[in-house]
Amino acid sequence: MPKRLVRTAQYAGLGLYIVFLGFPLLWLISASVKSSRELNSLTVSLLPSEWHWENYSDALARQGLIGSAGNSLLVAVASTGLVVLISLPAAYVLARIKGAARVVGTGWILVSQVFPVILFILPLFLILRTLHLTDSLVGLTLVHATYTLPFALWMLQGYVAAIPFDLEEASAVDGAPRLATLRHIVFPLLAPGLVATAMFSFVASWNEFFFALVLLQSPDNYTLPITLKMFIGGEGKVALGPLAAGAVLAAVPSIVFFSLMQRKLISGLMSGAVKG
Amino acid sequence: MAKRTRAKSQIGRGEAAVLLIPSLLPIMVLSVTPLLIGVFLAFTDARLVRNPEYHFIGIDNFIRLGGNSMFWDSFRIGIIWAVSVTVLQLVLAMGLALLLNSGLRLQSLTRVLALIPWAMPPVVVAIMWRMIYSANAGPLNAALGGLGLPSSINWLGDFKTALPAVIVVGVWVGMPQTTVTLLAGLQQIPRDLYEAGALDGAGAGRLFTAVTLPSLRGIIASITSLNFIWNFNSFSLVYVMTEGGPGGETMLPMLFTYLEAFKNRNIGYGAAMGLVLVLIVVTLLAVYLRAQLRGDKEA
């Protein structure tokens, strides 16, 4: 085949992928600025005939949406803080000791993926109920933190392992106390990895649906995904424009974080893939 | 080297334990313990009520489950869903990874686009695709109409199209991670393998089957296993898109189990379902990975 033809075919293929991956998002954004009349009409176009930015204020004014966004933010920030705080020392140990603990640690990540959440959630619900932590943001925070922890640990210990141990040794030989070595040598090098781990935890919690669905009962406690789901639930027709606007708003934090840490995530995954 | 080992073991056992406990504690209390209790519940008639009384009923739940045709229907749907999504994810992601690895323009745009589905909350993805699939005012039907094809299909509401339609969304969501992983694998393959193959007169297709696929074997095995587990255990996406409808056509096993446990309040029975599903998935995976491993040895 002539080289030219191959290239053309490749670009055509790439174009199809771009449309498949990008169009749905474009459509959601376009729907978020369309009027209800246009959204229910039979003529369908990507560009809105009139721009209705008030869909966004409508979505925010809608009962509960701001409150749920606040709840989501609270749970995501608290569980992220918790995850970083408790995974940092453990990740350091996991990365610096040899053998069994590492295997068990990474093994647990795989095992926890195999078991469907439904098997955890039944007893977890009973445990949290005796602690009066169902229908509570504190309970949800704990659950989110626990389920993000294994992956966060795995990510973070990878970043620690990437810091040459010689640096620590050299500092110890120079007579620096251990804590000082950790603070001045390890911590600054670890900071980017720590940020990536924190972002991952934040997004995982912000996006999480199932635990919130099971654990939260009163609308005052709903997180954003639950409120959005309730909008399309059995309670009659919803205005599609504000719904789309609300969905865009719910996706913004994760997309922003994701674009920021894109490179980091890819390189992290790559090293994982290569080792695996 | 000796010095290095000594330095490594500077972290004493006690010290290591102290540093690990904050992580282990929540995992034990909120993850391992519930799992064990969950397994135990499967052998009881526990119900989700105030002041519950449990009775140990042996394997009654499992016997009952054997005759529950709705559960097995849902299991069949779950397998169709998980296998289709996993295979399509692999094929499409492989295509995209090869394109991204062949020095085209627009690469960075595609990379970002390919990652977006991953970052989005499942609820938002579901809402978005409900709009795409909308029977009256959706762009999909409009595009089909423009081509002169049938344009009034109720994608998520029709018995025939609902499952394929949600499978497409499953593929859309899961492609990024698979693509990135495969791309990482592709970039690890030494260039000279291809050069040697080309010198021997192998074409692009032959190079793919003789060099690319064998080199990626391990990565493909691990990413398809993980994808299969994730897809089989998936809940949120389809729950928000169809709630298992129409008429149970998209009732994935996790949706079925969720409804049994939290709507019908039979948590003992629900736990038994969960346990059966885990055992089957683990068995399937073991068979698949064994076959992969054997292939590795022969290769």
Map out the domains of chain B as residue ranges: 71-298
- Record: contact A116-B226, CB cut-off 8 A: no
- Record: contact B48-A125, CB cut-off 8 A: yes
pLDDT of residue A150: 81
Chain B residues touching A265 at Cβ < 8 A:
115, 180
Q: Which of A100, A32, A136, A112 is nearest to B124 (CA)?
A: A32
pLDDT of residue A273: 41
B122 burial type by CB count under 10 A (0-12 exposed, 13-18 middle, 19+ buried) = buried
SS3 state at B243: coil
- Record: contact B121-A115, CB cut-off 8 A: no
A269 and B184 Cβ atoms separated by less than 8 Å: yes
- Record: contact B127-A258, CB cut-off 8 A: no
Q: Give the residue on A whose Cα is nearest the Cα of B143.
A: A44
- Record: contact B172-A93, CB cut-off 8 A: no
Cis peptide, bond prior to residue B214, ω within 30 of zero: no
Q: Give the residue on B whose Cα is nearest the Cα of A95.
A: B8
Q: How far is A57 from chain B (nearest CA, A)?
A: 18
Q: How far is A18 from chain B (nearest CA, A)?
A: 6
- Record: contact A11-B142, CB cut-off 8 A: no
Longest dimension (CA), chain B: 76
Instruction: Give, in degrees to the nearest 5, the angle at Cα B244 between A213 and A17.
Output: 95
User: B44 - beta bridge partners?
Assistant: B56
CA–CA dist A30, A27 (Å, integer)? 5
Radius of gyration of chain B, Cα coordinates, nearest whole angstrom: 24
Q: Which of B91, B230, B189 is nearest to A274 (CA)?
A: B189
Tokens of B93: 């992601």
Amino acid letter for position A253: P
B270 and A126 Cβ atoms separated by less than 8 Å: no
Residue A219 DSSP code = G
- Record: contact B31-A112, CB cut-off 8 A: yes
pLDDT of residue B297: 61
CA–CA dist A214, A202 (Å, integer)? 20
CA–CA dist A77, A72 (Å, integer)? 8
Tokens of B170: 């499953």
Domain at B71-298: CATH architecture: Orthogonal Bundle (1.10)
CA–CA dist B231, A209 (Å, integer)? 16
Tokens of A61: 């004014």
Instruction: Give, in degrees to the nearest 5, the angle at Cα B123 between B182 and B117.
Output: 25
- Record: contact A207-B16, CB cut-off 8 A: no
CA–CA dist B166, B133 (Å, integer)? 10
Which of B31, B218, B226 lies nearest to residue A146, judging by beta carbons?
A: B31
- Record: contact A266-B184, CB cut-off 8 A: yes
- Record: contact A17-B96, CB cut-off 8 A: yes
Q: What is the dihedral of CA B227, B228, B233, B239, to 10 degrees?
A: 80
Q: What is the dihedral of CA A15, A18, A20, A22, to 10 degrees?
A: -150
- Number of Cβ atoms within 10 Å of the Cβ of A2: 7
Which of A27, A90, A274 lies nearest to residue B19, judging by beta carbons?
A: A90
pLDDT of residue B10: 59
Q: Give the residue on A whose Cα is nearest the Cα of B260.
A: A118
A118 and B274 Cβ atoms separated by less than 8 Å: yes
Chain A residues touching B75 at Cβ < 8 A:
none
| pLDDT-flagged residues of chain B (< 70) | 1-11, 295-299
- Record: contact B106-A87, CB cut-off 8 A: no
CA–CA dist A69, A53 (Å, integer)? 19
Q: How far is A71 from chain B (nearest CA, A)?
A: 15
Q: How far is B67 from chain A (nearest CA, A)?
A: 21
- Record: contact A150-B27, CB cut-off 8 A: yes
Amino acid letter for position A260: L
CA–CA dist B102, B186 (Å, integer)? 10
Amino acid letter for position A118: I
Which of A20, A114, A244 lies nearest to residue B282, judging by beta carbons?
A: A114
pLDDT of residue A257: 77
Chain A residues touching B19 at Cβ < 8 A:
89-90, 92-93
The label of the residue with tokens 């959005």 reads: A228
Spacing of C-alpha A58 from chain mean position: 26
Which of B20, B41, B281 lies nearest to residue A90, judging by beta carbons?
A: B20
Chain B residues touching A150 at Cβ < 8 A:
27
Domains and CATH numbers, chain A: 63-238 (1.10.3720.10)
Chain B residues touching A207 at Cβ < 8 A:
120-123
A201 burial type by CB count under 10 A (0-12 exposed, 13-18 middle, 19+ buried) = buried
Q: Is this prediction's ipTM beyond 0.95?
A: no
Q: How far is A192 from chain B (nearest CA, A)?
A: 19
- Record: contact A113-B277, CB cut-off 8 A: no
Residue B220 DSSP code = H
Q: How far is B51 from chain A (nearest CA, A)?
A: 11
Q: How far is B31 from chain A (nearest CA, A)?
A: 7
| pLDDT-flagged residues of chain A (< 70) | 1, 42, 63, 98-99, 101-102, 105-110, 113, 233-238, 261-276
pTM here is: 0.85
pLDDT of residue A62: 73
Interface size A-B, in CB pairs within 8 Å, comes to 269
A209 and A226 Cβ atoms separated by less than 8 Å: yes
Q: Please, where are the H alpha helices in chain A?
A: 3-31, 36-39, 54-61, 65-96, 100-114, 117-130, 137-161, 165-173, 178-181, 187-207, 210-215, 224-232, 240-275
Interface test with A, best of B127, B172, B275 (most A CBs within 10 A): B127
Q: How far is B189 from chain A (nearest CA, A)?
A: 11
Residue B31 DSSP code = I
